[in-house]
Every structure is written in structure tokens, then in C-alpha cells.
Amino acid sequence: MLPTITLKQIGFRFLFMLFGAPLFCQQAIQFEEVLLTEIESYAPAAKKNQLVVKMAYGTSSVSNPALLKKLQGKKVEAIDYYFTDFPKGQSFDALHSARLTKLTALIPNLWKRKFFISWKAYRQTSCETEAEAKQLFHGFVITYSAGDPLAFLSPTNRAILDSVETEVSLENPNSTEDITQFLQGEGVKITNLEINDTTKLTKPYLYFKEEEGVIGIFEGLMLTTGLAANAVGPNDKANKSFVGSKKAVTDPEILSLFPKSKKLFDPCILEFDIQIDADTLVFNYVFASEEFPEYLTYHDVFGFFISGKGIADAKDIKLSPEAFERLSAELEFPDAVLSELKKISEKPYINRRGYVGVFRQKFGKKAGEFLKAIDPYIVDIKNLAVLPNGEEVSVGNINHKKNAHLYRPNTLEHDPKVFKAWQYDGFSVPLQAKVQVTPNQTYHLIMAIADQKDASLDSAIFISGTGINGKKK
């Protein structure tokens, strides 16, 4: 299986006071994973719609608490936490807890929107002494939005939008088992589900529900290349995005999913084993992106990759290193054949036609005998996120210029309900992933989406809550 996206972890465990009239209560919030980046140092500078909350070195004391009054009536978009772990080798959980508790006490309503806030932590490393550590910035930088986000609309258009009744609700899956049950439709059994989780508070995936079904799906699971909560409308920004990391992906298994891509950022990957008691696997989805309509050459990428034996029309294959080891032990092949197979086993997948051609070219009449013996150790791979003409689903292949009948711009003029419900600048029409398989075989399915070329401008897959189903012809 593909590994969970590797993240450095910072553990925060704390209790904070949640004030409300007339009751007083406590609620435990646990930070299991927060996106953490190491930097040498940070020098805060005053910026529009940002507050710099300064804390003293080694304490949770806030030097400028009155500043937070500016957040009244504002919407918190992002919170960045800066700290040093000096002296080295010590635990700072208690200090992180105290600082977060203090922040929450100063902003009592903060956690009502916890999945809508981009959280990041930055460890500053350029300090060898306590004196140097004290010179670095400690505290939080809070980014907020102010004013009416729809002020750009004319009075007429604002009246149109106000007359529309639609609302998106989001929910955090409780566990991988919860997602398993959610996706598991009729005639299939899903096991061994894994999903990369950037952070518990900055979710790249969430359940969604919109009772009007304005994009063609009423509810389901959303995978994004950023902050899933940013998907909620109205579409008041043309470039809404969350940059999880400015470093491109280096994991060869992830890169292998999109071999034609230049660079990949902020991947979200869901994978599982699936057993199908019918001869066809099918599910419905919608693709959306902030790359529409301007950045058709920077289009983000995604795919639904199924692997196993007996996949109809599969053009690619995979020989895993484990399968190669078994093959080497169980079959007597010339060294030249084993050498070719070892090369194949070191690649995530290879084109079947090219593999057959190489063997025929190198081994002549013997090639057929070798290929027949090797075949049981090889599995098929197919990307199900394709159009009827075979093109991959992407911003570059579905837009206002190409396959326009499959594209829907998210503008007030085109559909006020979509405009009010969702933030993404464009959507595909509902699409269907479908493939013929061998009944009762177990297959491996990977759903992956990633930013391409840069980490900006998010994209998303909306997977229908009707689940992944098996159907008979």
C-alpha cells in the first residue's frame, strides 16, 4: 500500500474553557497531528487582516491581549503557531498546551469553526543558547477576513443570491472504519482502508451534505488538495486555496501514479482492498477546481487506480518486488530474463504492450513461453477516472474550451444555487467510474488527487454517498 503522507508530529493535549450563557463547561481537544515545518527564524511584520499575538519565551503570557478585540465580528481563516524547542531534548507538550489554552480563552468561539481554520506550526531552529532563543518570536499569527465577502455583487445580484436557499454541512469522519462503511455499497466488501491525514484540524477530506444536490450529488466524501472546509460557498474568491507544503512530493510511489506530471504538491490519497461479488465495479463522482477557468495548463491531477487480476481493457501492469522474489524462487529462468523482470519490479507500473514487445525483441521464440509463466505473478492496473474517449479527467480535459458539455462554470449567472453552496470556480458534470472485473476477486483501489506544478489553487473529488457498488451485466 502507499504509505500515509509522512508528517512530523507535534502532540498537544489540553483542556480549555468554553464559556456560554448561562452554563460553564470544559471540553477536551487533542491535537494529534498538526502540519509542522522547520524554519531558521521568523520575524513577524504587520500585514492587512493579520494579528500577531506575542508570547514570552517559555511561558503562555500574552504581551498584547487587547489586540484580539479586533477579531470581534471577523472570520478567522488561519492560525500559525511559532515556537522554539530550546533547550533541546526536552518535552514541550505542557508549554504548547498552556499557550493553546490561553489562545482559546482569549477567543472563546474559536473551536466552533475548528475544521474551517488552517492550522500550521513552525519550529524555529536558529538558536544555540537561551539568549538566542529569547530573541526569536513566540506566539501566534492569526489571519482573518473582514467585511461583507459579497460586497462585490450588484444590488440586483445580491437580491438573487439572498433568495436562494441552499446550505452545505460538513462532518469529520470518526475513523477509517467509518469511511469504510460509508463507501461500502451493494455487492462489495472494503477492507484495509488507509487515508493520508494532514492534520486533525486542517482536513483535506470531510463528509459533505447539500440537500439540493446542486452539483448532482447530495452527500458523500470529499477529497481535496487543501482545506476541505474551503469548499463551502459562496464563490466569493477566484483563488481560494490552502498551501499545505511548498515542497514538491518526492515519494516515488505517489509520483508513479501521475508519471506525466511536472511536480506534485499536497496529495490526498485514499486506498483500500475491495472484493466484488459481481462482474462490474461502479461509483459516481464530481471533479471541481479553483484552477478553472484561467489555469488550464496548471491543471491539478487525480485518478482512481484499480489493480488486480482480470481487469478488462487494462493497459498497464505491475510486478511488485515481493512477486519478483517469489517468481525468482519458483521458476527457473535465464539470468537475462530475471534481469529484465527485476527492472520491471522496481517500477510502480509498466505498459503491458511495451513489456511484451521488449521480451519478443530480446528473447525471440522463447518470449511466449516466458510471458505465459510470468503472467500469474503480474497484476493489471487501470485508471478509472477517464472520459469515454479515453482522456483522463482533469482541468485540461474538461473546461469551457474542451469537452465543454461536461463542464459547469460556478458563476451567479449560470446557477445561483451552485454559486451560493460551493466555492470552487468550476465543476464537471456527474461522472461515473466503471470497470469490468472478475467476480469475487480482491482488488486494490487508490483514489488520489494532487496539486500540479505549484501548491496553489485547490481541487477536489466529490464521491457520491451511494457508495462503491458491484453490478452484474
Specify whether 180 is located in the same domain as 278: yes
Which pLDDT tens digit goes with each residue over 6-42?
Answer: 323 333 333 332 223 322 233 334 444 567 788 999 9
Distance between CA atoms of 77 and 374, rounded to whole angstroms? 55
Q: Quick one: average pLDDT of 435-463?
A: 85
User: Is the pLDDT higher at 73 or at 304?
Assistant: 304
pLDDT for residue 88 is more than 50: yes
Q: Quick one: average pLDDT of 42-67?
A: 90
In the chain, pLDDT over 90 holds for what percent of residues?
A: 30
Specify whether 255 is located in the same domain as 283: yes
The predicted structure's pLDDT at residue 200: 57
Q: Quick one: average pLDDT of 114-127?
A: 83
User: Is 467 among the domain residues?
Assistant: yes
Residue 453 DSSP symbol: S
Write the burial class of residue 330 (CB in 10 Å: 0-12 exposed, 13-18 middle, 19+ buried).
Answer: exposed
Domain end call among 329, 356, 377: 377
The predicted structure's pLDDT at residue 390: 83
- What's the predicted TM-score (pTM) here? 0.76
Residue 333 DSSP symbol: -
Print the SS3 string covering 234-262. Answer: CCCCCCCCCCCCCCCCCCHHHHHHCCCCC
Domain total in the chain: 3
Q: Quick one: average pLDDT of 112-124?
A: 78
Rounded to 5 degrees, what are φ and ψ at 285? -155, 165
The predicted structure's pLDDT at residue 473: 64
- Sign of the dihedral through C-alpha 264, 269, 273, 278: negative
Domain end call among 145, 179, 198: 145
- Work out the mean pLDDT of the chain and round it to a whole number: 82
- H or E segment to which residue 206 belongs: strand 205-210
User: Is 217 among the domain residues?
Assistant: yes
The predicted structure's pLDDT at residue 220: 94
pLDDT for residue 92 is more than 80: yes
In the chain, what is the greatest distance between 2 CA atoms, to the nearest angstrom? 86
Specify whether 400 is located in the same domain as 354: no
Specify whether 20 is located in the same domain as 105: yes
Specify whether 218 is located in the same domain as 267: yes
User: Is 73 among the domain residues?
Assistant: yes
User: Is 103 among the domain residues?
Assistant: yes
User: Is 416 among the domain residues?
Assistant: yes
Q: Quick one: average pLDDT of 432-438?
A: 90
Specify whether 75 is located in the same domain as 94: yes
Rounded to 5 degrees, what are φ and ψ at 184? -75, 100
Specify whether 224 is located in the same domain as 348: no
8 Å CB contact between 348 and 381:
no
Specify whether 439 is located in the same domain as 351: no
pLDDT for residue 388 is more than 70: yes
The predicted structure's pLDDT at residue 115: 67
Which pLDDT tens digit goes with each residue over 146-195?
Answer: 777 777 788 888 888 888 888 898 888 888 899 999 998 888 899 999 88
Which pLDDT tens digit goes with each residue over 198-233?
Answer: 555 668 899 999 988 999 999 999 998 888 888 998
The predicted structure's pLDDT at residue 402: 92
pLDDT for residue 139 is more than 90: yes
The predicted structure's pLDDT at residue 414: 92
Query: Among 199-203, 235-239, 345-349, 397-401, whose mean pLDDT is lowest?
Result: 199-203
**Residue 46 belongs to domain with CATH number:** 3.30.1330
Specify whether 138 is located in the same domain as 71: yes
The predicted structure's pLDDT at residue 85: 83
In the chain, pLDDT over 70 holds for what percent of residues?
A: 85
Parent domain of 26? 12-145
User: Is 7 among the domain residues?
Assistant: no
Q: Quick one: average pLDDT of 426-451?
A: 89
Rounded to 5 degrees, what are φ and ψ at 355? -65, -45
- H or E segment to which residue 176 belongs: helix 176-183
Specify whether 86 is located in the same domain as 211: no
User: Is 257 among the domain residues?
Assistant: yes
Specify whether 199 is located in the same domain as 295: yes
**Residue whose grid cell is 518526492:** 250
* Confidence grade of residue 197 (pLDDT, cut at 50, 70, 90): low
| Secondary structure (DSSP) of 38-65 | EES-------TTEEEEEB-TTS--BS-G
The predicted structure's pLDDT at residue 103: 87
Query: How far from the centroid of its chain's Cα atoms is residue 100's Cα?
Result: 26
Domain end call among 377, 403, 422: 377
Write the burial class of residue 49 (CB in 10 Å: 0-12 exposed, 13-18 middle, 19+ buried).
Answer: middle
Specify whether 280 is located in the same domain as 358: no
